[in-house]
Chains A and B, each alone.
Chain A
């Protein structure tokens, strides 16, 4: 009984999270052009989606920014994590507090403050400012997922490697890096996801000539959001979901073996 209740509850919350997504997917196959009534099945929005060059450009922009930001912030964040792990406790607490600000502060304040900053140093808003903004709010996520790994890593093996004649660089590559790799990966992934989904900060720090998907969609909420956007979202969602299923099934097989 309790098991059933647990299942039911889990299912209920998942339904709550996924129902709007299912509706969105359904309407991406709408023959008509409104979100109001479903008139029939058609794939027209998928073909239109690929024909729409502005939309495709916005998608590429989003991916490029998310990718660049996550790669740079992963490298930077890992470096910062290493430096912080070696700091004195007082220094550590100060820098952790500063580091957490972009993550904890209100997004709108971060966005607005960065915009003011860029305007003040008279950099015109565009790709560079957007990338910097994304790196700024991505770095804390990377640091927070790498830092615990560094703390857990076994220092004596590293020292043993040095004693056995490995150069520090080599010991780092062979010993430390594999140990903290999962942290780096999850940090990078989190950073990528945050960048990909971000709207508010991009809204204030992006400029003309470089529009990300969410900013582009926002320009259309004033008029009707065309169903091509539904098609595109479905497309991305399905790819990610299928990938997830495949890896999960593979994982199942390997554990069964």
Chain B
């Protein structure tokens, strides 16, 4: 009995931490989305900001645009990253350890600088642009097009797709694969029936780790194609473009962030549905 109480007591600081530093800040977003601090310090309830965030056609466009870029980038990351993780997982151990670290290494170089350097490769004078022009595939520059944003996102977030998929592939018990082969399965069947289902959790966490940052990044569009704002740029403008004496608190930004948060959570729960399904299949194997 006392052990149970002891355990319960140990839970308290953990919950306290989670509530104070995770739940409360998110509630603050909701708070500022519906309450406005007046000049005299009093607080006024209002739904106008939330209403504006939902009904403003331009905000909606920006949201959809961000979702579009994120969706395309995630698909590209998956298509590029999955085979790569597969190749990597089938290499000899020492080699693959080294190469998997190579995918982490760029993170040690500041991401603004990396994106800046990328833009110098794909702008109108960049080597890649000139090469593609020479091939006759494009005219003009890559920066300033929507492809540039996708390239930037893939460039920055590809490792986040490769690593979870790679880890989930390493976890696959080789004996299962061998058993399947012994039972006469060809490699396509092995892949379809074993590798793919068992890597679903990796794919899901990869998708999550790519999709969400893609929706909200404002630096990548700013450096690679700054023609049209994404939802991240909009929030950033609301907070830092407005010189107000409220110390950075901005109701419109709060309202948009709140809507964004809800969308992200909906996406999350959709993904996790797929995930638990996959995990179940994996478990049945």
* A–B contact via C-beta, under 8 angstroms: yes
Chain B 75-97 interface residues, beta-carbon cutoff 8 Å to A: 80, 83-84, 87-88, 94
18 other A-B residue contacts (CB within 8 Å) besides A9-B84, A104-B264: A13-B80, A20-B118, A24-B113, A83-B11, A95-B11, A98-B18, A101-B26, A106-B261, A106-B264, A107-B216, A108-B257, A109-B264, A112-B257, A196-B107, A199-B110, A217-B110, A236-B108, A237-B109
Please name all residues of chain A whose beta carbon is closer than 8 Å to the beta carbon of B17 when the two chains form the complex. Answer: 76, 80, 139
Identify which of B98-106, B133-141, B189-197 touches chain A.
Answer: B98-106
The 26 sampled A-B contact pairs (Cβ below 8 Å) are A16-B155, A19-B128, A20-B118, A20-B120, A21-B114, A23-B117, A24-B109, A24-B117, A104-B264, A108-B217, A108-B257, A109-B261, A110-B25, A112-B254, A119-B247, A139-B17, A199-B110, A199-B111, A204-B248, A214-B110, A221-B112, A221-B223, A225-B113, A229-B110, A241-B105, A251-B94
**Would you call B236 an interface residue if the criterion is a C-beta within 8 Å of the partner chain's C-beta atoms?**
yes
Given the interface pairs A9-B83, A107-B213, the reply to whether A83 lies near B10 with Cβ below 8 Å is yes
Contact partner of A108 among B31, B159, B235, B248, CB < 8 A?
A: B235
Please name all residues of chain B whose beta carbon is closer than 8 Å to the beta carbon of A193 when the two chains form the complex. Answer: 104, 107-108
Q: Which 5 pairs between the two chains have the least Cβ-Cβ distance?
A: A20-B117, A113-B25, A24-B117, A106-B216, A117-B25
A187 to chain B, nearest CB (A): 14
B211 to chain A, nearest CB (A): 10
B274 to chain A, nearest CB (A): 15
**Would you call B218 an interface residue if the criterion is a C-beta within 8 Å of the partner chain's C-beta atoms?**
yes
A242 to chain B, nearest CB (A): 11
Please name all residues of chain A whose beta carbon is closer than 8 Å to the beta carbon of B15 when the two chains form the complex. Answer: 95
Against A, the Cβ 8 Å flags (1 = close, 0 = not) of B7-25 are: 1001101110111011111
- Contacting pair A240 B28 (CB below 8 A): no
What separation, in Å, do the CA atoms of A14 and B98 have in the docked complex? 13
Please name all residues of chain A whose beta carbon is closer than 8 Å to the beta carbon of B261 when the two chains form the complex. Answer: 105-106, 109
A186 to chain B, nearest CB (A): 11
Please name all residues of chain A whose beta carbon is closer than 8 Å to the beta carbon of B109 when the two chains form the complex. Answer: 21, 24, 233, 236-237
**Would you call B268 an interface residue if the criterion is a C-beta within 8 Å of the partner chain's C-beta atoms?**
yes
- Contacting pair B11 A109 (CB below 8 A): no
- Contacting pair B236 A24 (CB below 8 A): no
What separation, in Å, do the CA atoms of A120 and B158 have in the docked complex? 37
A98 to chain B, nearest CB (A): 4
**Would you call B121 an interface residue if the criterion is a C-beta within 8 Å of the partner chain's C-beta atoms?**
yes
- Contacting pair A17 B106 (CB below 8 A): yes
Against B, the Cβ 8 Å flags (1 = close, 0 = not) of A119-143 are: 1100000000000100010010000
What separation, in Å, do the CA atoms of A23 and B121 have in the docked complex? 8
- Contacting pair A13 B105 (CB below 8 A): no
**Would you call A50 an interface residue if the criterion is a C-beta within 8 Å of the partner chain's C-beta atoms?**
no
Given the interface pairs A17-B103, A36-B125, A136-B21, the reply to whether A109 lies near B223 with Cβ below 8 Å is no
B284 to chain A, nearest CB (A): 20
What separation, in Å, do the CA atoms of A9 and B114 have in the docked complex? 22
Please name all residues of chain B whose beta carbon is closer than 8 Å to the beta carbon of A217 when the two chains form the complex. Answer: 110, 112-113
Contact partner of B32 among A20, A84, A102, A116, CB < 8 A?
A: A116
**Would you call A180 an interface residue if the criterion is a C-beta within 8 Å of the partner chain's C-beta atoms?**
no
**Would you call B53 an interface residue if the criterion is a C-beta within 8 Å of the partner chain's C-beta atoms?**
no
Please name all residues of chain A whose beta carbon is closer than 8 Å to the beta carbon of B21 when the two chains form the complex. Answer: 132, 136
What separation, in Å, do the CA atoms of A112 and B107 have in the docked complex? 23
Please name all residues of chain A whose beta carbon is closer than 8 Å to the beta carbon of B257 when the two chains form the complex. Answer: 108-109, 112-113
A52 to chain B, nearest CB (A): 15
What separation, in Å, do the CA atoms of A221 and B111 have in the docked complex? 13
Chain A 82-98 interface residues, beta-carbon cutoff 8 Å to B: 83-84, 86-87, 91, 95, 98
Please name all residues of chain B whose beta carbon is closer than 8 Å to the beta carbon of A95 when the two chains form the complex. Answer: 11, 14-15, 18
Given the interface pairs A9-B84, A99-B18, A104-B268, the reply to whether A113 lies near B110 with Cβ below 8 Å is no
Given the interface pairs A106-B213, A136-B21, the reply to whether A17 lies near B98 with Cβ below 8 Å is no
Contact partner of A21 among B80, B83, B106, B248, CB < 8 A?
A: B106
- Contacting pair A199 B23 (CB below 8 A): no
Contact partner of B120 among A35, A110, A213, CB < 8 A?
A: A35
Please name all residues of chain A whose beta carbon is closer than 8 Å to the beta carbon of B232 when the two chains form the complex. Answer: 108
Chain A 52-103 interface residues, beta-carbon cutoff 8 Å to B: 76, 79-80, 83-84, 86-87, 91, 95, 98-99, 101-102
What separation, in Å, do the CA atoms of A171 and B209 have in the docked complex? 38
- Contacting pair B105 A230 (CB below 8 A): no
A72 to chain B, nearest CB (A): 12
- Contacting pair B10 A86 (CB below 8 A): yes
- Contacting pair A113 B28 (CB below 8 A): yes
**Please, which residue of chain B has its CB at the minimum distance from the CB of A132?**
B21
**Would you call A257 an interface residue if the criterion is a C-beta within 8 Å of the partner chain's C-beta atoms?**
no
B268 to chain A, nearest CB (A): 6
What separation, in Å, do the CA atoms of A143 and B10 have in the docked complex? 16
Please name all residues of chain B whose beta carbon is closer than 8 Å to the beta carbon of A76 when the two chains form the complex. Answer: 17
